[in-house]
Amino acid sequence: MNKNNIILIGMPGAGKSTIGVVLAKVLGYQFVDTDLIIQEEEGKLLWQIIEEKGVEEFINIEDRINSKVDVSKCVIAPGGSAIFGENAMKHFQEIGTVVYLDVEYPILKKRVGNFERRGVILRHGNSFRDIYEERLPYYHKYAHVKISENNRNISQTVSAIVDALDLAPESR
């Protein structure tokens, strides 16, 4: 089993996709955004799948697709809701280092804007604040490494991940 992947987890808007592709380029890795695999396999956009099938079925689909990701030397950016998939998170922990991108709530809220149209899964009419609080314990539970993004721009966050994982060119 390959353990050389990097899996970024965190809230919607934390920057998993944005940071992920830059990190992959810096490391010479491949990059996979599993939201795009879900859309391709289902033949629909994320928000359409959520609207048509509902939150619980979306979580099942996401869990199934994430559990099948079979790559090496790859930065993987799953959706923010991936942490609700127990099989997928176990798989991610087995194939690499799981990195939590920690961003404080006010910054996230500003970045995400209208989260209803972003396709964020909402249970029981929850607010964005509710989902932040609900998810935090999961991000902490599954992360091997936690990186605070506060006061860091994209390239500083990428450098912080490279340093934390000891992935600088001379140590590879």
Ligand X SMILES: Nc1ncnc2c1ncn2[C@@H]1O[C@H](COP(=O)(O)OP(=O)(O)OP(=O)(O)O)[C@@H](O)[C@H]1O
Ligand Y SMILES: O=C(O)C1=C[C@@H](O)[C@@H](O)[C@H](O)C1
- At residue 9, φ and ψ (nearest 5 deg) are -120, 160
Does 17 participate in binding Mg ion (rule CB under 5 A)?
yes
State which of residues 6, 10, 100, 160 lies at the interface with ligand X (CB under 6 A).
10
Which CB, 87 or 155, lies closer to ligand X? 155
Question: Is position 43 annotated in a ligand binding site?
Answer: no
Question: Is position 118 annotated in a ligand binding site?
Answer: yes
Long-range contacts at 86-89 (CB < 8 A, ≥ 24 apart): 87/63, 88/62, 88/63, 88/64, 89/142
Question: Is position 80 annotated in a ligand binding site?
Answer: yes
Site string for ligand Y, 84-103 (x = CB under 6 A): --------------------
Q: 165: which DSSP letter?
A: T
State which of residues 5, 9, 12, 23 lies at the interface with ligand Y (CB under 6 A).
12
Residue 10 contacts residue 76 (beta carbons within 8 Å) = no
Does 85 participate in binding ligand X (rule CB under 6 A)?
no
Window of 100-108, 116-124, 141-149, 162-170 that interacts with ligand Y by CB under 6 A: 116-124
Residue 154 contacts residue 25 (beta carbons within 8 Å) = no
Question: Is position 34 annotated in a ligand binding site?
Answer: no
Does 80 participate in binding ligand X (rule CB under 6 A)?
yes
What is the CA 35 to chain-centroid distance, rounded?
A: 9
- With the C-alpha atoms ordered 152, 154, 160, 165, is the resulting torsion angle positive or negative? positive
* Site for ligand Y, rule CB under 6 A: 12, 35, 46, 79-81, 119-121
